[in-house]
Amino acid sequence: MPPSPSPSHPPFLTTQDSLLHAAVAYASNKRATLDALLVHSTATPILPPELILQVRAHLQHIQSDQIAATSSEALARYEYAAASRYCAECTAYNQHVFGPDVWSWFEAGVTEECACRTVTPSGALPDRPPEPKEFEFEGVRAVRTRRDWLYAHLSLVYLAGKDVSTHVDSVLSSFGCEAVPRKHLPPSSGVYAGVTSMGGSRKEHAASKASLLTPMGSPEEAFGPLLTLNPVAGAAHTVGDGTVQSLMRELCISPHDASSTRNNSDRKMNFPAVYPCAFNDSGPTPIHFKFPISRSACFVAIAVFFAFRLASVLRI
């Protein structure tokens, strides 16, 4: 039985896609290279510790947001390709019976190809859209849920086929933490609002297919129930102090705010005021240094750091 959250700290909730993208970014080659340079640097650091922490936090945010944006684009291509397999009549019927969410069709057992194309002669339906020539499926086929698709996509594209769930478990265990799914999960058929009218022109058919696409990160449980991040009592850890705060600080995961909703326009690189974060009874609060550091200053600092490292290597 997972340990209950401390009464002094509210439970830390996050979405499944946020944790997945952050964990994949945490294992990126760019971050590993930066950490290796920091470990093998001179005894007297060239850059102030505050600036180094700022650079690492910005790098984690950039990597995580870039991976999330790539996933969003790939998922949109997959969903459009899946919706394009149905004629206008079948699309309208599926929307009317199963709802506007294309994934609810698959969960209900709808085949992944329009039945009219196999039952009726070719060209019998005047509103049938042209056959799709080529769509990018990112090597993923026959997945039945968004969550399955995202897991397969991240495993194939970023982890060279390694199971992303195993990777996430490894990252969590290194901090002595675990992710416990929240029990409540609303039915996927009620997640999205879209076109449900029967029939319609080809233009309306294209618009109805566009309404089936999933914005990454919205709604909050599109990829599964929210996750509660808990420390594992007595578990060994190799990173940080073995607390959820350390995990969220290193992965740059913000606690989920149930009162706010995100949409596709929110998928951009939003950085906190200043990292790292200090955690108190009310949750995370930014540590405000005397001189706030901009992103451009961070990148200049990185360039200076690498220049000094290169110069020291050449002298050797």
Per-residue model confidence (pLDDT) at position 168: 94
Neighbours of 97 (CB within 10 A): 12
Task: Flag whether pLDDT at 23 surpasses 90.
Answer: yes
Q: Are residues 229 and 248 in contact, defined by beta-carbon separation less than 8 angstroms?
A: yes
pLDDT tens, residue by residue, 117-167: 655 554 444 454 444 444 444 444 557 788 889 999 999 999 988 899 999
Integer angstrom CA distances of residue 13 from 7, 146, 308: 15, 20, 41
Neighbours of 15 (CB within 10 A): 23
3 state DSSP class of 292:
coil
What residue ranges do the domains of the chain occupy?
12-176+192-315
Least confident residue range of 25-29, 218-222, 301-305: 218-222
Integer angstrom CA distances of residue 16 from 3, 50, 127, 223, 282: 20, 30, 39, 6, 23
Where do the DSSP E strands lie in 182-242?
227-231
pLDDT tens, residue by residue, 225-268: 888 888 887 666 656 555 788 888 888 887 776 554 443 334 33
Q: How much is the average pLDDT of 95-113?
A: 83
